[in-house]
Structure 1
Amino acid sequence: MDSSYLKQHSQSADANTMFDGATLTDLQKSLLAKVDEYGIKWAERAFKYDREASFPTENYNDLKEMGFLGLCVPKRLGGIGADYRTYTLVATRIAYYCGSTANTFNMHNANSLWTAGMVDDMELTDEQRASHENNRSIHYANMLAGKIYSQPFSEGSGAAAGKHPFGTITTRKGDGWIINGKKIFASLSGSADYYGVLCTEDVPNASLADTMFIAVPADAPGVSVVGDWDPLGMRGTVSRTLIFKDVFVPDTAQLMPRGMYIKAASQYPHMFMTLTPCYMGVAQAAYDFSVAYLRGEVAGVNVKRRMYPTKQFGIAEMYIKLQQAWALFHRVTSEFKRNPSRAERMRAYACQYTIMEYCAEICAAAVRVCGGQAMLKTFPLERMYRDSRCGALMLPWTSEICVDRLGYGLLYNENERDD
C-alpha cells in the first residue's frame, strides 16, 4: 500500500507526543525525527511481515544502521543513553509505523534498560558491582555491534505474573551455569542472537528471590526453537517456543547479579510497562488512518466521507479516548522512579489497562467509522484491529492482572489484611 498519507498525518502523532512542546528534550525530538525518516518504509513492509508471519529483519537492519540497537545503552559505554521516558516515546513512534517491530524492539531494549541505571541504584557489594559492570559491558558491546537480544518470559504458568518461581532452572557448574526449561510465546525466536532468560537457581526451597537473568546465545548447543506461529495479530513478532536442554553458559552471561532481578522488579514496577508504548502507537496510527481515510487522502480512496454526522461523531469518540490514553501515558511514564508511591503504582496499573483496552476500542471504532472497504488487506486498518487485541494479553501485566491489583491495592493499605 502507498503510505504517503503518513507524511502529513504523522503531525497528529507529533502533537500527541508533544513533539513541539517544551517537555521534550532535544534528544527525544531528534530520536522521534529519526524514526520518521524510516517509518514509511516500515509501514509499507508491515503488510508482508503480517501476511507471512515473518520477522521484520529489514527493519532491524535499519535500526542497526540508526544506532538504535544501543538506544538504552549508557552513553559512557557507547550507546545513545535513552532513559525510561525517552525509550517509551521512541517506542510509540516505532509502533505508529509497525506494531510488530515496536513489540519486539521492547524485548531487545529491556535487556539494556533494566540492567543500566536501575541496577546502578541498587544496594550492591563492591564485588557485585564490579562483576555486573564487566558482564553488561560484554552484552552492551554485542548490542552496539548489531546483535539482537530477546527476553522470553512466559512458560504457560503464573511465573511471569510473579505468582511463583520460573520453571526454567539453572544449575551451577564450574565457572558457569546449566539451563533447562521451556519458554512459550518467545518473541524474536529464531531471529534473536541472544535470549535474556529469566530462570530459577537450583537451590533447596527455591523462591522468586532465586530468579536469575541470563543471556543465552541462540546458537548455544541445546537451544532449539519449535512449534508453529500463526496467531491473530502481532504476527511479525514470531513468538515460537524455546527449548533449553542442558545449555551451558559462562558466568559472564548474567545480565543482573544473583538475587537482583526480584529486587529490581519490586522497586521499579514501571519496568513492566515497556510494552504499553507499542499499543499507544497503534491506537494513534488507527486514528490517523481513519481521519485520512474519511478525508479521501488515502491512496485508492477517492471519495470523501467526512461530511456525514455519524462519521464525525465516530471520529470524535475515538479522539476523546485517544487523548485520555495519551494524558495518562505522559503522566505515568514521567513518574518512573525507584520505590514509587502507592498512588503512582496504582496509576501505572490504570495506565497499562487503559491503553491496552482503549487501543482495541479505538481500532474497533475505526473499522466501523471507515466502513467495509477499509477492511481490505490492502489497507493497514484490519491489521491494526487484530494487533490491538493482543495488548490485553501481554504478560507480566495483562489487563486482568492490572484490574486484580488495582482492586486490591485501592481497598487495602500496605500490608493490611482481613482478620
Structure 2
Amino acid sequence: MRSRVAAVRPVLRNQARAVDASAAFPVAGLTALRESGLLGLLVPARYGGLGGDLTDLVRVAADLAADCLSTAMIWAMHGQQVAALVAYATPELRAELLPRVAAGEVYLASVTSERGKGGHLLTAEAALHRDGDLLRVERDAPIVTGGRHADGFLITMRDGPQAPRSAVSLVYADRTALDVRASGSWNPMGMRGTHSGALRLTGTVPLANLVGAPGGFRTVAVSTFAPVGHLAWSACWLGAARAAYGTVLHLLRSNAGRRQFDIRSDLLRVRLARVRLDLDTTAALLARCLRDVRDAGDLTAPAVQLRLNGLKVHAAERSFAVVDTLVELTGLRHGYLRDAPLALERVFRDLRSASLNYGNDRLLLANGALTLLDRGVDLGEERW
C-alpha cells in the first residue's frame, strides 16, 4: 500500500498549485490514482481489488491530503461510494461493477444534494419511476463533487411518485446509461479542484442497480455512508493540517528560519503547543471513532452517533484553526501571500469549507438531541 501511495503523491504535489489557480479538476491526479489501483482500495480481493479496510482508507486519505486536499477529498468520497456498494449492492451489480472499479475504470461520484432540501441526506424530492425491471432517473443536483469527470454515480431519490420524502432509495447509474448535462460555473474560495458544479442526470437503469432496500437508504446512510464519510473527511482535513504544521516546523528549524523567527519567543512556543494539541486531539478522536465503526455492533447507539458527528465537527473546526494559527505565526510573507512556498494560504481556503461540508450546525443540532438519550460519557473503559 505504501508504495502505491508514494507513487501517486508527487503527481498530486506537482499539480496542486495549478489546480487551485484554475479551479480545474485534477485530471493528472485521478489518472495516477486509477493506475495505482487505489480506486479499488476497499474492493474485496475476490473482485480484483486491494481488499483494504477503513484503517487503510483513513491513512491513505490523510497522506494524499498532505499534497492536494481537493484530490484527497475526491478520492475519499469515491471510497465512501465503494463502501456502500460492497455492503449493499445486489450480487449482479457487485459482479459487474466492482471489478471495473478495482481496475481503475470507474471513478464514482455521489449525488445527494438537491434544490429545495440542500444537503439533507435522509430526504429526497425527485422520484424514481418504475417500468417493469427498469428505473427511470431524472435528477437535478446543485453540487456534485467531481461529477463532470465521474464514470458512475450513486444517486439518492424518492422511492416513487407517491412515496414520502423520507422514503429515500439509493441507485447506481453508469455514465453510459445517462444523459449528463452540466450547468453553471465553479469558482469557489477553496477546494477548487473538486469541481463540484451542478448536474442534470437523466436515463434508465436496471432494477438490480438499487443499492439497499427500496426506500431503505437510511440504513445505508447510518451504517456506511455517514460513518465512512465522517472518518474519511476528517482524515483528509487532519492530513492537510498536519502537513501544514510540518512545513512550518521545517521552516522554523532551518537556518533561514532561525534568522527570521525568534524560536525562543514565548508566544511562538504557545502557538505551536496549541497547534500540536489540536492535531493530537483530532487524531485521538479519529482513532476512537475508527474503533467504534470497526468494532461496534450497533452504529445507531447514541454514544457512537455522538462521537461520529462530533468527530466531523471537531476535525473541521480544529484543522482550520491549526492553519489559521500557522498563518498568524508565520506572518504576511510566509503565511498570507498566495505565492509563498509554504502554501498555507491555499490550505487555509481549502479548510474553510470543512464546516460547510454537511454543515456543522446540522450535526450539532442532532447531537443536542442525542445527548438527551445518552446517560453519560462513554470512555470505552472496556477496551483499556
TM over 0.5: yes
Tell me by how many angstroms 1:304 deviates.
4.7
Aligned to 2:380: none
Report what 1:362 is aligned to. Answer: 322
1:261 and 2:261 are equivalent in the alignment: no
- C-alpha offsets along residues 350-397 of structure 1, whole Å, 9 cap, x if unaligned? 2111100001100100101111112222331111000011110112xx
Aligned to 1:177: 135
Secondary structure of the 1:213 match is strand
The letter of the residue matching 1:384 is V
Aligned residue type for 1:290: V
Q: Is the 8 A contact 2:77 2:229 kept in 1?
A: no
- Map Cα deviations across residues 216-269 of structure 1 (whole Å, 9 max, x no partner): 233445321111000011000000001124x22223433334344222223455
TM-score (norm 1): 0.81
Q: Structure 2 CA distance, aligned partners of 1:71 and 1:109?
A: 8
- Structural mapping, 1:263-342, within 5 Å: 263-268=219-224, 269-273=226-230, 274-296=232-254, 303-305=259-261, 307-309=263-265, 310-336=267-293, 337-340=296-299, 341-342=301-302
Number of equivalent positions? 365
Out of 314, 338, 343, the residue aligned to residue 377 of structure 1 is 338
2:67 is the alignment partner of 1:97: yes
Cα RMSD (Å) of the superposition?
A: 2.3
- Quote how far apart the aligned CAs of 1:159 are: 6.2
Task: Give the SS at the match of 2:149.
Answer: coil
Whether the 8 Å contact between 1:346 and 1:409 is mirrored in structure 2 is: yes
Distance in 2 separating the partners of 1:303 and 1:56: 37
- CA positional deviation for 1:302: 8.7
Residue matched to 1:21: none
Per residue, is there more helix in 1 or in 2?
2
Please give the alpha-carbon distance, in whole angstroms, between the structure 2 residues aligned to 1:257 and 1:411. Answer: 30
Matched residues in 2 for 1:200 and 1:354: separation? 32
Corresponding residue number in structure 2 for 1:386: 349
Matched to 1:320, the amino acid is L
**Native 8 Å contact 1:169 1:199 kept in 2:** yes
Partner in structure 2 of residue 152 of structure 1 = 111
Residue 411 of structure 1 is aligned with which of 365, 372, 381?
A: 372
Corresponding position of 1:134:
92
Who is 1:208 aligned against?
166
Moved over 4 A (4+): 301-304
Residue segments in structure 1 that go unaligned for 5+ positions in a row: 1-30, 120-130, 415-419
1:232-247 equivalent positions in 2, closer than 5 A: 232-245=189-202, 247=203
Contact 2:42 2:82 in 1 (8 A): yes
In structure 2, distance between residues paired with 1:79 and 1:174 = 33
Instruction: Decide which moves more: 336-345 or 80-89.
Output: 336-345
Which letter maps to 1:376? L
Matches within 5 A, 1:54-65: 54-65=24-35
Change in Cα spacing, 1:296 to 1:41, as seen in structure 2 (3 Å) is farther
Preserved CA contact (<8 Å) 1:189 1:239? yes
Change (3 A) 1:56 1:162: closer
CA distance in 2, matches of 1:403, 1:328: 16
- Superposition deviation, residue 306 in structure 1: 5.1
Match of residue 198, structure 1, among 156, 179, 182: 156
Gaps of 5+ in 2: 376-384
C-alpha distance in 1 between matches for 2:355 and 2:136? 34
Aligned equivalents of 2:190 and 2:200: distance in 1?
23
Structure 2: how far apart are the matches of 1:390 and 1:66?
28
Q: In structure 2, which of residues 349, 360, 364 is the aligned counterpart of residue 399 of structure 1?
A: 360
1:70 paired residue among 28, 40, 56:
40
